[in-house]
Every structure is written in structure tokens, then in C-alpha cells.
């Protein structure tokens, strides 16, 4: 399911590189990052240890520290960047699936709901849990989380601008959309129901319609 990988954000790669294969080191690094992203989604920053990451990535502890000499914080920041791009891919798919921006918001919530169902409600937002757990403790992780949220807002804002929305309206609506999606996804995850996301989609549709130029 390579073409839909972003719907299972943070899923670990299954390939296994060897020293004899070209790019094997790069494959090992990517595998470590993807496994870390998945574990952060499922059990948070404090609940994820380097030994577990190495074990599930099929890597040695030496390999983990070779690629990430800064340890867990450096690795978590890289995993957040990976999650940032996976979420961005999902947003691009949803926003690009409909010319109408209001319909596009509904499409995004449907994709988020699909991803949660496929992960048995375990793999939600790739940054929220880690961002909250590390507040005031890791500037590197906080910067990665802030960049992710800003990137997602830019994607939504670009869609609205392309549809003729005023620049300020597009910027403020984009902030609202991402905030609503974050809250609805968390609520869906906790309640193991896609109803909060479906409701959010309907109300985002109405909100965008209200600001339509």
C-alpha cells in the first residue's frame, strides 16, 4: 500500500537493508525514524525508549546512536518531521480531491477518520502527544512540532487563497481548520468513533461557506 502509506501515519517500514546493499545505511535510518514516529503516536514520548525503537526497527543500539548521536530527543524531532510530511501528504490528498474548498475540508476529515479506523484508533496526530509531553523540556522537539503545525496551516491557507479567499481570512481560517482537526481527531481517538471527525467536517464546510468570497 505504498501509495496510501500516509493514511497510516507513522507506520514502520518492513524492508531490511544489509551492508552489501546500496543505500543500506539510509534504509536503516529511515526504518528507525518510521518506527519511532509510530511509537510516539501510540505510546507518547515518555513511554517510548531507545531500546524498544532499536528492537522494533531491527537495528542495534549502536546504529541508533550512530544516526542520532543526540539520542532520544534528536530522534524524536526527526520522527516529528517525518510525521509532519505524512500529515502534509494526507492534507494534499484531501484538499486536492475537490475544487470546492468546503468539500475539501470534508474530504480531509474522512481521510483522518479512515486512518484512525485502520490503526484501530491508536495512531492519531503525529505531533500532539509529543508536543504536550515535552513542553518546556526540549526546544528541538518543540520547534519541530511548531513547524509541523505551521506547515499544515500553510497548505490549508494555500487552498483557500487559490479559491479566491482574502489573505487574512485564508490565514485565520487555516489556523481554525487545523485547530478543529486536531481536537476532533483526538476526540475520535479517545471515543473510538469517527463521529467527532464527521461532525467537524460538516461544521468546517459551513464555516468555509460563510467566508466564501
What percent of the chain has a predicted confidence (pLDDT) above 90? 82
pLDDT at 25 over 70: no
Is it the case that residue 15 has pLDDT exceeding 70? no
- How much is the average pLDDT of 98-108? 98
Residue 9: predicted pLDDT: 52
Measured CA to CA, the distance from residue 166 to residue 211 in angstroms comes to 9
Compute the average pLDDT of residues 145-173: 98
Query: 126 pLDDT band (50/70/90 cuts)?
Result: confident
Distance CA 117, CA 122 (A): 9
Task: Give whole-number Cα distances, 70 to 42, 74, 129, 140, in Å.
Answer: 23, 5, 21, 11
What is the reported pLDDT for 4?
41
Q: What's the sign of the alpha-carbon dihedral 43, 144, 15, 59?
A: negative
pLDDT at residue number 136: 86
Q: Read off the pLDDT of residues 53-100 as tens digits, 9 standing for 90 and up.
A: 999 999 999 999 999 999 999 999 999 999 999 999 999 999 999 999
* Mean pLDDT across 197-205: 98
Domains within the chain, CATH numbers bracketed? 2-211 (1.10.357.10)
* Mean pLDDT value across residues 105-123: 96
For residues 101 and 47, what is the distance between their CA atoms, to the nearest angstrom?
38
Q: What is the mean pLDDT of residues 38-61?
A: 94
* Tens of pLDDT, residues 134-145: 988 899 999 999
Q: What is the pLDDT of residue 12?
A: 37
Q: What's the confidence (pLDDT) of residue 13?
A: 36
- Mark 101-135 as b/e (b = at least 16 C-beta within 10 Å): bbebbbbbbbbbbbbbeebebebbbbbbbbbebbe
Q: Is the pLDDT of residue 191 over 70?
A: yes
Enumerate residues 6+ apart whose C-beta is below 8 A from 152.
84, 87, 88, 91, 178
* pLDDT exceeds cutoff 70 at 149: yes
Q: What percent of the chain has pLDDT over 70?
A: 88
Amino acid at each position: 500500500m505504498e501509495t496510501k502509506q500516509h493514511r497510516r501515519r507513522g507506520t514502520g517500514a518492513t524492508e531490511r537493508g544489509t551492508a552489501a546493499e546500496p543505500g543500506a545505511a539510509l534504509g536503516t535510518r529511515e526504518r528507525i525514524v518510521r518506527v519511532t514516529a509510530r511509537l510516539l503516536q501510540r505510546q507518547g514520548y515518555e513511554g517510548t525508549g531507545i531500546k524498544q525503537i532499536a528492537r522494533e526497527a531491527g537495528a542495534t543500539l549502536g546504529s541508533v546512536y550512530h544516526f542520532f548521536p543526540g539520542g532520544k530527543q534528536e530522534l524524536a524531532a526527526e520522527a516529528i518531521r517525518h510525521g509532519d510530511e505524512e500529515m502534509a501528504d494526507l492534507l494534499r490528498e484531501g484538499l486536492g480531491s475537490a475544487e470546492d474548498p468546503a468539500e475539501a475540508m470534508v474530504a480531509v476529515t474522512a481521510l483522518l477518520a479512515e486512518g484512525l479506523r485502520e490503526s484501530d484508533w491508536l495512531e492519531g496526530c503525529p505531533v500532539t502527544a509529543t508536543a504536550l509531553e515535552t513542553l518546556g523540556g526540549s526546544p528541538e522537539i518543540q520547534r519541530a512540532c511548531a513547524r509541523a503545525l505551521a506547515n499544515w496551516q500553510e497548505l490549508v491557507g494555500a487552498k483557500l487563497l487559490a479559491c479566491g479567499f482574502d489573505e487574512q481570512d485564508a490565514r485565520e481560517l487555516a489556523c481554525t481548520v487545523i485547530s478543529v482537526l486536531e481536537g476532533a481527531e483526538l476526540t475520535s481517538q479517545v471515543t473510538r468513533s469517527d463521529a467527532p471527525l464527521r461532525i467537524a467536517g460538516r461544521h468546517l464546510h459551513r464555516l468555509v461557506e460563510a467566508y466564501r468570497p
